[in-house]
Amino acid sequence: MVKLDQIDWCETPLVLPTRGTPVEEEISRHLGFPLTSLAYLAPVPWVAWSLATKIQPVAHISNRLSDLITLVVSMENSCRHCYGATRSILRLTGYSQKRISELEEDFFHAKLDERNKTVLDFSRKCARADPRPDAGDLDALARVGLSRMEVAEVAYVATNTCYSNRLATILAIPPDAIEDQDKKLLTRLFRPLVAIGFRGVLNRTKKRNIRKYRSELENLEGPPFGNRLVDALRGSPTADVLHSILNDCWHSPHTSKRTKALAFAIIARTLNCSVCTTEANRLLECEGLLREDIDHLQTYLSSDALSGFESRFIHFARDTVNYQVPDIQFVARRFLEGLSKEETIEICGLVALANWVARLSIILEQNEAA
């Protein structure tokens, strides 16, 4: 895993920030603090709101474990934006520099118990494309005492972090202002008091996220994709969050439903997720593709049934599964050139979301085993 100062990060974001929008202001009020990233995402509300869920609404694992998972996955994905922000959050909530450095050097030798080491190892595997976690990794989590819902929330946090990492990386969003807060003299002088106050803010935000998505669910139809994953998370507030994000993405106007189905289909197939591939192929049929066209598309990553944009898009989507940071930022810049800001943001959110759900599908294996 790479350290913060070793990450090669593009200094020019893919889209310019749109500051002072009602969406940005509403999310900042909801969170109780500003996020630098919001101005880069505000033109597409579902993407901007999805990043508010970085304050994970978990109920079965601790906030501290959730933060450690986020740190390790962001390191694995070399996301300069998320890694730096999570590192600062750990410092602001009371983690010492020494403990963080131990995790960065090698969490297997850090002062963690076997349970936490197993969780972090599993989370790091969730960030990888090959090999991905398997039933053996789920068994390892069960052996160290995790319940089914704890495993589901661990996988949710790890794969949601993969989502945030891809979104911030592809768009090359600059470091968050929270890093500056961590460096201030007053923060260093009054760190214990700052830690108490900041933990209180995060706990209140977590409760707001739970209430928000629970109330939204009452007015939403089920999304046409990912319902098995949502059902597997039932019993955790994360189910409502995933349900809402999938629904809002599907109905957002900036990309076609066929483009969305292509993203889910190609990324699921690349990650060898049979459940998500089957669901996405069904969506493609609903969007007018014939079964033989879909089979050819999945086998050869090409089809005469696709438009020129769609043919380029599926290659870009596949490239987001496994990448090096400077390379994917260059590829994205080349592919997305000429698109509107809204289209650019939504496409980046779309491929990140498809990666999220295909990786999260590991929890279906423990449900089938049960």
**105-164: pLDDT as tens digits:** 877 777 889 999 999 999 999 999 888 899 899 999 999 999 999 999 999 999 999 999
- Show the tokens assigned to 1: 């895993």
> Bigger pLDDT: 94 or 172?
172
Where residue 220 falls among pLDDT bands split at 50, 70, 90? low
Res 79 pLDDT > 80: yes
Where residue 217 falls among pLDDT bands split at 50, 70, 90? low
81-95, 173-187, 261-275: the lowest-pLDDT one: 173-187
Distance CA 262, CA 301 (A): 11
| pLDDT tens, residue by residue, 266-288 | 999 999 999 999 999 999 999 99
Query: How many Cβ atoms sit within 10 Å of the Cβ of residue 210?
Result: 18
CA atoms within 13 A on the CB side of 273: 33
When pLDDT is averaged across residues 329-337 and rounded to a whole number, the result is 97
Sequence-ordered list of residues with C-beta below 8 angstroms from that of 288, at least 6 positions apart, any chain: 258
CA atoms within 13 A on the CB side of 83: 23
As a whole-number percent, the residues of the chain with pLDDT over 70 amount to: 97
Do the beta carbons of residue 244 and residue 220 sit within 8 Å?
yes
Distance CA 38, CA 31 (A): 11
Q: Look at residue 329 in the predicted model and tell me its pLDDT.
A: 97
Task: Look over the chain and give the mean of its residue pLDDT values, rounded to a whole number.
Answer: 92
When pLDDT is averaged across residues 172-194 and rounded to a whole number, the result is 85
As a whole-number percent, the residues of the chain with pLDDT over 90 amount to: 71
Q: Look at residue 1 in the predicted model and tell me its pLDDT.
A: 64
Look at the pTM and tell me if it is higher than 0.85.
yes
Where residue 214 falls among pLDDT bands split at 50, 70, 90? confident
Distance CA 24, CA 26 (A): 6
- Phi, then psi, of 332 in degrees rounded to 5: -65, -45
Q: Look at residue 311 in the predicted model and tell me its pLDDT.
A: 97
Q: Look at residue 255 in the predicted model and tell me its pLDDT.
A: 97
Q: Look at residue 271 in the predicted model and tell me its pLDDT.
A: 96
Q: Look at residue 327 in the predicted model and tell me its pLDDT.
A: 97
Q: How many domains does the chain have?
A: 1
What's the domain range around 82?
1-370
| pLDDT tens, residue by residue, 41-69 | 999 999 999 988 888 899 999 998 999 99
